[in-house]
Amino acid sequence: MIKANKVEKSVEILNDYFSKIDIVDKSITKKFFNDTIINAFKKNIEKKIESNQHKQNQYEFYDLFAGAGGLSLGLEENGFEPKIVIDNYKEANETYLFNRPNFDSANLISDDIRNVDMRLFTTLPLVVGGPPCQGFSNANKQRKENDERNKLYEFFVKTVKLVNPPIFLMENVVGILPYKNQIVSDFKKVGYTTNIYRLNTKTFGFPQNRERVFFLGIDEKFKLIHNELFNIFSEIKLDNSYSFSLSNAISDLPQLDAKTKRNSTYIESAEWGYTFGRIFKNNHSYTPIINDKNQFEFPLLNHKSKFNNERDIEIYSLLQEGEKSDSPRINHINPYKSRDGIFKDKFFKLSYKEVSKTITAHMYYDCHMYIHPTQARGLTPREAARIQGFPDDYLFLGSPNEWYRQIGNAVSPLIAKMIGAKLKMILDRIYFV
């Protein structure tokens, strides 16, 4: 009965979303949606629920500032189970819940962490999260030292103190490093020794140049084995057996044109792509890594292009792979050429042979810095999600622009999975040796 109710609720969400969509070329009909797409989701959701019933999760965790669930994904794949999840980002919360039919929606708190009743927290093995990073970002040239978002990590510290887990993990952008001494000191005051790790997805052979900082804290009551535990995590840098390029990540996806109709958020077609596309068979060298299968057949999700005007489409067409705003090919049409010292990367065409530049939430506004290598358009949300390492059956909810924001703000599930394996080893050492 519980399984039936969860499937029914998911189908209701899918139908509500599809009702907003206008497929102008009638290439996908309501009948196809009901007969093929809905049925594929039903089977997938039922399989997830059934699989969870036989799963023996050893460790529960709290995920603060969870977003769309990139960090949670990596932990879940290593036997962890989220107990309480907190974020005040409505669309990301919807995405998090939809993709976890086994998770009780009552345990996701959609609110500012500063408003949360701390009595909800009990002792668990792990607290993780990534406080909002805009105040720390190097991209924010006018950031203020007293930006209140810089202080949200203090609520992470407060939660760690209350929960008193053996370990915690906090993630953020590299721009947080000037504050590292203060952060380490704050955790020291509540009884934790903290090590800092800079990890880049490309170092591990994944198709993105994405560097992030991870603060791993261990309760000082385990100080006799601190070195051993930190060494377990440090060995993550040895786990780099892949060598994927951008081509490996996205070249198998269907070709699309840039959308040329303004104010057309929910207008879709075969030319511009779909929220719910036709069944797509993934059998690429990269897709088994993100889907954990050799072959994976499922409706192609969130693969639709963004609006561009004629000038931008021409610029996209003229640029060669790896070229940017200072290319002479676009000098006659570049609206930023008088300020190319500032906007030299305003336009950037990705190269199939290289890894992608860092996927960011800026794609919410435009994809000028994420031009497809061979098609005159920006990357789609599904392509961005592929690069980040989200599974192909992971549906992003909210408006298409919100999909970009959720994907860009997420911890790469690929890195999260590797981190999750190390955290499990650390907790196994604490609890079972």
Which residues are catalytic, by number? 133
Structure tokens at 225: 């084995």
Residues 60-88: b if buried by 16+ CB within 10 A, e if exposed: ebbbbbbbbbbbbbbbbebebbbbbbbbb
| Distance of alpha carbon 355 from alpha carbon 370, whole angstroms | 12
| Distance of alpha carbon 156 from alpha carbon 136, whole angstroms | 16
| Distance of alpha carbon 236 from alpha carbon 312, whole angstroms | 42
DSSP 160-208: HHHH--SEEEEEE-GGGGGGHHHHHHHHHHTTEEEEEEEEEGGGGT-SB
Q: Is 3 exposed, middle or buried (0-12, 13-18, 19+ CB in 10 A)?
A: middle
- The interaxial angle of helices 226-234 and 413-432, nearest 10 deg, is 150
Cα dihedral 333, 335, 338, 342 sign: negative
End-to-end Cα separation, the chain, in angstroms: 41
Tell the residue number behind the tokens 């005159």, with chain if given. 376
Alpha carbon of 282 to those of 128, 263, 332: distances in Å?
A: 32, 32, 41
Q: Is 431 exposed, middle or buried (0-12, 13-18, 19+ CB in 10 A)?
A: exposed
| Distance of alpha carbon 403 from alpha carbon 401, whole angstroms | 5
Residue 335 CA to chain centroid, in angstroms? 32
